[in-house]
């Protein structure tokens, strides 16, 4: 399909997350999407910069409402009307943003939330839909709720046994009926990677689309991948409850490239290429052959995301944080991935462990801890892209990530008790998946404080990363013997 001179794969969308210390310019991201044929995008919030950049771009938008806003929207129709006016009507009329959906919350029924959003999601959905109708947008903009695939299950272990989760069954039926009555789609996030991550005995080939797995036989249907089996479990749940024809959107699906032994570029390419091949073939699943709209997760890495689910959370992007290509993908019709254009970087210099610094220095562990508290060290974890570095390279990686995160600010490489120096020689290894980054020049040097003098910025690391790095350093240098 050709739109405005751009070649698009029908039904291909992406998620654009904004939790990054050095985000790309919104205009660069929008051009990146257009250059690579993404004609749909899902945002997790109505970020003004992103929304304005999407104006008159030809890209359809699903704009999200964060979970922490649901309570206010559920309790006040007026609040819902104000949100729609500010974040939908305003951008449609004044900026020409092609908003098609409002995503009310994000996976609000996850069991880890302990029912925090269970009672408020449906009322918030109702109020947003009512506000869209009042604004005269009810026909063109639909409200939906992106849900995790854990809202349905199968007691038999087969797709044909699918039904909604017992504790939220009636609520799910009410929500699906509401969506159906308003001509809105049901949005589901499916993650084959998490099946593999959660179960060491999960058959690896069953996570992918290339047909190498032993099939799961369900009556007359044989399933050779978990995506089809998972999706058809949902279809069975919908059919059992009288909604066999409701449209479905896959709100998130993808594969991370770092932060876990099964998160690497090779497996990510295998998964995403298989997914793209199905999209290009317009092939659905055995129980629903019609291909749904699919939003790939994710477009770009986000180095400030929470790592509570796992270190891989910061590495879902098809592109690195700066819009460079991680691995090749055939987009179909002779097109391959295209990197972001016009990206500006900080100076070509790195902060590394000084050659004469002693690995037995008692300040080393503390210095690494400080660096990884304020910068992203998830690539140093076990089985990750930089997990095999020696002790000196480990420390250099941590020091440099801090230095780059601080925008190479004067004094930021001197935080480590005389253990570090600045070098203009790339400390990375040729042909290695481990990257010693240079950050994007966001032009905001003056606005970023040095968190070494404050506790306000301690949102980056997590104790797992720190202790993985420190223990590795101690083992390599022989300090635990």
262 touches 192 (CB < 8 A): no
369 touches 402 (CB < 8 A): no
What is the percent of the chain with per-residue pLDDT over 70, rounded to a whole number?
Answer: 89
Q: What is the pLDDT of residues 171-203, one digit of tens each?
A: 999 999 999 999 999 999 999 999 999 999 999
DSSP calls for 7-59: E--TTEEEEE----SSPPPHHHHHHHHHHTT--EEEESS--HHHHHHHTTSS-
Q: What is the pLDDT of residues 108-133, one digit of tens each?
A: 999 999 999 999 999 999 999 999 99
Q: What is the pLDDT of residues 360-411, one digit of tens each?
A: 999 999 999 999 999 999 999 999 999 999 999 999 999 999 999 999 999 9
Q: Quote the tokens at residue 344.
A: 């500006």
Distance between alpha carbon 63 and the CA centroid of its chain, in Å?
Answer: 15
**What is the dihedral angle through the alpha carbons of 256, 329, 42, 33, rounded to the nearest 10 degrees?**
130
252 flagged as catalytic: yes
Contacts of 297 (CB under 8 A, 6+ apart): 14, 15, 189, 252, 253, 254, 316
Q: Quote the tokens at residue 112.
A: 């880890």
Mean pLDDT of 29-36: 97
Residue found by looking up tokens 């206010």 in the block: 72
- Please say whether the dihedral angle defined by the alpha carbons of residues 273, 278, 279 and 284, taken in this order, is positive or negative: negative
Give the pLDDT band of residue 322 (cuts 50, 70, 90).
very high
107 flagged as catalytic: yes
* Position 429 pLDDT exceeds 70: yes
Residue found by looking up tokens 């990884």 in the block: 372
What is the percent of the chain with per-residue pLDDT over 90, rounded to a whole number?
Answer: 87
Task: Specify the pairing of strand 335-336 against strand 330-332.
Answer: antiparallel
Catalytic residue among 81, 107, 302, 437: 107
- Please say whether the dihedral angle defined by the alpha carbons of residues 306, 312, 317 and 320, taken in this order, is positive or negative: positive
3-state secondary structure of 118: coil
DSSP calls for 212-261: -SPPEEETTEEE-SHHHHHHHHHHHHHHHTT-TT--EEEEEE---SSSBT
Mean pLDDT of 46-67: 98
Catalytic residue among 45, 52, 239, 252: 252
Contacts of 351 (CB under 8 A, 6+ apart): 396, 399, 400, 402, 403, 404, 408, 412, 413, 420, 421, 422, 423
Q: What is the pLDDT of residues 138-163, one digit of tens each?
A: 999 999 999 999 999 999 999 999 99
Residue found by looking up tokens 């699918």 in the block: 162
pLDDT at 10: 55
Q: How crowded is residue 359: how many other Cβ atoms within 10 Å of its Cβ?
A: 18
């Amino acid at each position: 399909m050709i739109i405005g001179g751009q070649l698009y794969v029908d039904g291909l969308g992406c998620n654009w997350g904004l939790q990054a210390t050095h985000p790309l310019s919104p205009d660069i991201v929008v051009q990146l999407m257009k250059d690579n044929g993404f004609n749909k995008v899902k945002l997790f919030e109505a970020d003004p910069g992103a929304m304005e950049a999407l104006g008159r771009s030809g890209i359809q938008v699903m704009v999200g409402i964060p979970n922490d806003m649901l309570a206010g929207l559920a309790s006040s129709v007026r609040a819902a009307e104000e949100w729609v006016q500010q974040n939908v009507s305003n951008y449609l009329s004044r900026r020409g943003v092609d908003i098609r959906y409002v995503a009310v919350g994000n996976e609000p029924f996850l069991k880890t939330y302990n029912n925090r959003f269970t009672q408020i999601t449906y009322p918030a959905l109702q109020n947003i839909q009512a506000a869209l109708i009042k604004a005269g947008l009810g026909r063109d903009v639909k409200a939906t709720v992106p849900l995790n695939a854990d809202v349905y299950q199968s007691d038999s272990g087969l797709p044909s046994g699918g039904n909604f989760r017992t504790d939220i069954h009636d609520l799910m039926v009410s929500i699906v009926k509401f969506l159906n009555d308003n001509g809105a789609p049901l949005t589901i996030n499916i993650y084959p990677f998490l099946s593999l991550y959660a179960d060491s005995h999960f058959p690896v080939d069953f996570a992918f689309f290339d047909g190498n797995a032993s099939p799961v036989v369900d009556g007359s249907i044989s399933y050779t991948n978990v995506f089809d089996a998972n999706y058809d479990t949902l279809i069975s749940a919908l059919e059992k409850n009288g909604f066999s024809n409701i449209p479905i959107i896959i709100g998130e699906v993808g594969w991370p490239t770092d932060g876990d032994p099964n998160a690497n570029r090779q497996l990510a390419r295998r998964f995403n290429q298989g997914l793209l091949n199905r999209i290009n073939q317009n092939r659905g699943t055995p129980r629903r052959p019609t291909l749904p709209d699919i939003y790939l997760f994710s477009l770009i890495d986000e180095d400030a995301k929470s790592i509570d689910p796992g270190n891989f959370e910061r590495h879902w992007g098809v592109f690195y944080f700066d819009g460079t290509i991680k691995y090749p993908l055939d987009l179909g019709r002779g097109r391959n991935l295209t990197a972001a254009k016009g990206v500006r970087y900080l100076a070509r210099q790195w902060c590394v462990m000084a050659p004469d610094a002693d690995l037995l220095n008692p300040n080393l562990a503390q210095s690494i801890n400080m660096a990884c508290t304020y910068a992203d060290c998830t690539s140093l974890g076990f089985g990750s892209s930089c997990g095999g570095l020696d002790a000196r390279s480990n420390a250099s990686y941590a020091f440099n990530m801090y230095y780059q995160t601080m925008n190479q600010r004067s004094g930021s490489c001197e935080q480590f008790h005389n253990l570090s120096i600045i070098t203009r020689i790339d400390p990375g290894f040729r042909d290695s998946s481990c990257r010693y980054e240079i950050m994007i020049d966001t032009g905001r040097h003056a606005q970023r404080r040095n968190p070494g003098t404050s506790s306000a910025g301690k949102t980056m690391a997590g104790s797992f990363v720190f202790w993985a790095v420190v223990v590795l350093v101690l083992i390599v240098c022989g300090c635990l013997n």
